[in-house]
Structure 1
C-alpha cells in the first residue's frame, strides 16, 4: 500500500457536502473523511473499503465506517478507478479519529474526467467550513 504524503494544508483540498475531502494530484484524488465527520461519528471501530481496481461512481456508496455511536457511509465524490485503499485504517480504524487528514485517508481514485475537480458540488475549504458552521 502506498503511503499517503499529500498536502497537510486543509485549504489545499476539495470537500463534499457528505464530509469527504479530496487531495488532488493531476488526475488522481486521495479521499478521506473530514475531522468534522470523524468527530460526529465518535470512536471509529470498523472500516470497509473498496478493492483496488474497483470502479466507483460519484455519489454512490463505496465504503462503510462504523463507530460506537453509528454507521456512516463513504461516498465516491468522483467517477474513476480505485488505485489504492488504506489497509491501515481497516486494521486500525482509530486512525480515522486520530488523523483524518493524514494517516486516516481512505482511498485513492484515478479520475475518469479531471474536469470534475472544478464541479460546483465540490467545495473549497472556506465553503466547507461555512457548511459545517466552523
Structure 2
C-alpha cells in the first residue's frame, strides 16, 4: 500500500512539472540590423525581464523605429504589448513579425499566431474553433 502511495505522489508531481509552460522571452535582433536598434532591443529586454513593461515598451518601440523591417523587433514589441494587455496592438506587431520573418518558429508561436500552428507546411495547421467564446442563450435554447 505504501508503494502505491509513493508511486501516486511521484506520478502527480511528474504531471505537474510537465504542464509548466516556459514564459516567452524577447528575441535577439539579427546582426545586420542597425546598432541603435540592437541597443534599444537589449535595453528593452533587460527592462522586460525586470518587470518594467512600460519602459520595455518604449525601448522596443524605438527598436522598431530604428529597424522597421526586423521581425524580431516587432515580435518583442508585440510581446510587451501583450503583457500590458493591449492585445489588438500586440496582434498587429506579431502579424508584422511573421510577415518579416516567415520561417521563425518562435514568432509563429506568439499568442496571436499559435492557434494556427507552424509555418512549416509539413506540420498540420490547427483551425481556430469558431465556437470559442460564443455567447450562450440564457434560457438554454435547446429542445424541451
The two structures have a TM-score, normalised by structure 2, of 0.23
The structure that is helix-richer by fraction is 2
Answer with 1 or 2: which has the greater Rg.
Answer: 2
- The structure richer in strand per residue is 1
TM-score by length of 1: 0.25
